[in-house]
A and B are shown apart, each in its own frame.
Chain A
Amino acid sequence: MPESSPALQVEELRVSFLPHGTRGGCRPSIAVRGVSLAVAPRECLGIVGESGSGKTQLFLAALGLLPPRSVATGRVRFEGADILGEPPDRLNLVRGSRVSMIFQDPMTALTPHMRIGAQIAESLVHHAGASWRDAEREALRMLERVSVPEAGRRMRQYPHELSGGLRQRVTIGMSLICGPALLIADEPTTALDVTVQAQIIELLRSMRSEVGMSLVLISHDLAVVGQLAERIAVMYAGRIVECGPARQILHAPRHPYTAGLLACTPDLTRPLAARMPTLGGQPPGPAEEIRGCAFAPRCPRAAERCGVERPQLESRTSAGGAEAAVACHFPLLP
């Protein structure tokens, strides 16, 4: 596979959940309404959106991790192979080794009754056929690399004996032990204190260059994503509404939703306003049928056209060669 081809490529992915029961009027919930994106080798792509925007479901679907009663269609290619809808035994050849995912709550990824060292080593034994002895030695080295203090002692401890920040360091170590090409980190710092959050962001930054992997960083917080991402995609109601170089998204957003979200993002360096900036209203529900632009009911720029005609995500290439896209009839900048 040539170096320039993407590590992960998603085309027209749709994710829906079938309703429970068959009562009339029950409509399927649609979490992702058609998303295409590509993650380049060694790139950090930030995915920003509020709860219900589909940002998590998109990547759970890509890795075949959706719960029952869900349907994912479209195409997902990872390292050149189609993986959407593949059976678990085929997916497990790459999941946990070539591609890993970590979550907001590290306890969901850790087995409560297994020692930390064994949990990290297991992955190497399973995927690389390492002996337990070698694998545990590697696990110890990994704990040191992710800056877990007293790594030798922590190896023998159980997850409940560790703080939230240490647990997240352990899951990061676990996800990196096989040297993945891609790490998907879903709100990895949201449950952590702000001082610990800063440490985990630094850890992800250093591990990313050390391992030479691609990173997808999913968060509701633009300031957090901005710390690491080179490119940012903004999701709203199951679709990407804007995507482009991080600097452009953070300083010259074109979609009114991106601008609104930026204004609401807490930032102590900004002067104090008399009132908190807000976005009125709320996003559409997953079972709601969307006509036109999903953001139109909350948008200060919305016109009649927005209520009837859905804006397409239109890409353009800037003079510098960077690609940017926006789905808006009346973008803030041309």
Chain B
Amino acid sequence: MSHLSERPAAPVVGRTLPHESASLHVSGAALYTDDLVGRTAGVLHAHPVQSPHAHARVTGLRLDKALEVPGVVRVLTAADVPGVNDAGVRHDEPLFPTEVMFHGHAVCWVLAETLEAARLGAAAVEVDYEPLPSLVTVREAIEAESFQGAQPVMVRGDVAAGLDRATRVFSGEIEFPGQEHFYLETHASIAQLDENGQVFIQSSTQHPSETQEIVAHVLGVPSHAVTVQCLRMGGGFGGKEMQPHGFAAVAALGAALTGRPVRLRLNRTQDITMTGKRHGFHASWRVGFDDEGRLQALDATLTSDGGWSLDLSEPVLARALCHVDNAYWIPDICIHGRIAKTNKTSQTAFRGFGGPQGMLVIEDILGRCAPRLGIDPAELRRRNFYTEGQTTPYGQEVRHPERMELTWQAVLDQADLAARSAAIAEFNRTHDDVKRGLALTPVKFGISFNLTAFNQAGALVHVYKDGSVLINHGGTEMGQGLHTKMLQVAATTLGVSLDRIRLAPTRTDKVPNTSATAASSGADLNGGAIKNACEQITQRLAEVAAARLGVPAASIRFRDGMALSSDPQEGNHADPAEPHGISWEDLVVAAYFERVQLFAAGYYRTEGLHWDSTIFQGHPFKYFAYGAAAAEVEVDGYTGAYRTRRVDIVHDVGDSLSPLIDIGQIEGGFVQGAGWLTLEDLRWDESDGPTRGRLATQAASTYKLPSFSEMPADFRVSLLEHAHEEGVVYGSKAVGEPPLMLAFSVREALRQAAAAFGAPGTSVHLDSPATPEAVYWAIEQARAGGDTSVIEHAADHASRPAVPRDGHRVDGHGNGRDGASVDGTGAGHASATRAHAIPTDLERGAYPATPPAQVKR
């Protein structure tokens, strides 16, 4: 067992504890960024002027009338930017654009004494627009060959040979939309000036260091002049990984120019119309199976809808490609990826980060092909699981493939699947107007940022003379319970009780150069760093204790608020009844007087990772998280309305650091995934009318999140037992993202229930999201004989390409950035801002000036 994963006796990790802020949450005492407004004097409020066009040139901007509105103090425009007018890391996101790229794009920002005055001021700003042609759907972009960024290809083996070898070959398409994060707390920043022009920004950000970097380059100051703090977020889900930076920069710019605190909080309409979402995808595919249903080959092209700027689209696409296999061995495979450039919000990170989109492609394929193959869908899935010694298409050995089989079997047992399947068959036989479906789906999800460099973290641990401990780390708290776990890690390592430890808010002046709290990696990375810091301290304290106790320092253990000369439970102490030790408090005081350093900066980096994005090969993930879900639904044949009757989940979180937190992540992730797949319906105006490109579902009243009515009536979640993960902090595994993809079970159950309205063996295509309307049409399709959109190919023509590839085949990758200007939109901007950007890039260092198809995560 590795030192990192080994747990001491009676650890605080592994205990079932409520969220560390639960008592503040329930009493309304927990503070979020915008709660600080009333606690800050002299605040100015910011309000955007938003574009009414999907794509237009700004030909005139007149502020006079806005400045006449009582209470308006200033209007921020491009001319006010002392540094770089850009809010992104790829320099394709002008903060104050001269060409608006989507409906709702902010042209400029009004600062006023009240929010009402700022709103009225914004309404009084006069903007002249010259409308330009726009691309709103991913299909329009494909048609126009409007792509941006890298076009990677992931290849293993010979897909043509694989398709030729296959005895059953099918092709089809799927298109599915994105998802709005709908964190309950919208984006918020408050910026104020410290002495000497330094800026202090409180921001609802998952990535304080990058917020800091963007603010610094907009203001044209070094990073050390900008401090970003995040108290906590009211939900993030990836939506605050990249998107907060520009808003923080506007607030900071306002503060720098006026000398007053500036608050920028988006209301829901602004948030949903201005910020990026999960990427929708289009996929066309050709798949081959052998007679037993074993996957032989997959040839597919995945096109993500990136929106107007690159943002995180490249790494999202990379993760989609890396998860198109999900849990299945596909010997010969060729997946092309590309990013459509459309006139929409800049699509971004969202829990799963492309993984769900990649997996949806293969799960949809299996769900549609199983009836054609005459194989039960669950059996088809299981038959294709990875086994020991096999590798992913990108060349990483699949470690612990037996855990997939274990979780699957555990779900079969827990869900009493055989008996219930029989009961459902009987129910369906005796009911004409209502049908049930029960589906199982697996998840295998890679943990680590694809980009190796991001897999590092820092922490700062202080022990004060009274023995109390203050910890700081680079991760942010957005509800996922990271801080709870970090407190448990610190208490375990220091051997003190939780009430001795406090965790301070995340700040860039405490821990620098942090990675985003993202990729499910928060606990792995920051936990490693905190453990390292605590161990530096205990090693020093052990010397002090050892001298006092007259034993070797190596024999000192820290537990229960004591430094003990050895662990009594190990039985090697002379008299177990009388532990030979010194209390934590006494030891700390003694160490102080002996001039022993009582604080430490911890550091962690994940070992053993490598990734070459140019050839799409490597070992990008530390390990895989496994899970399986069984969902039962009931569908009404009159309306397509449905209910999720029961869900069983078995998920692999390693040895859980904090079971209540982990189960909460699994349940919450599952319901959020089910929301994406069944309910949440992003509708953009695709017409040629005056509101083309406008998001039609831009409010909670029209964009429906799961509510109590979507919670499975019977919801049973278990953690996989004996799941110790070697080489990860206290044997645990990441949990934030993987459970979201367990929700494929709901979609597949709906497909099966809809198919039950047709003859046995009917295959149906189910639109995504599977709203009652979509399910109703699937039922009608089943009644009419089933899906005709999947084509079966005669074996001798099997290897013909599934789709035209628009001329960029295997050489598609690597020509990344230049692709961004392929449609001409924004090209002028990009070059103008890039010229400014180069010195900042070098200064910031984190991003090479001209990265070859840079891939994050």
- Judge: A and B partners, yes or no: no
Mark A residues whose CB is within 8 Å of B: none
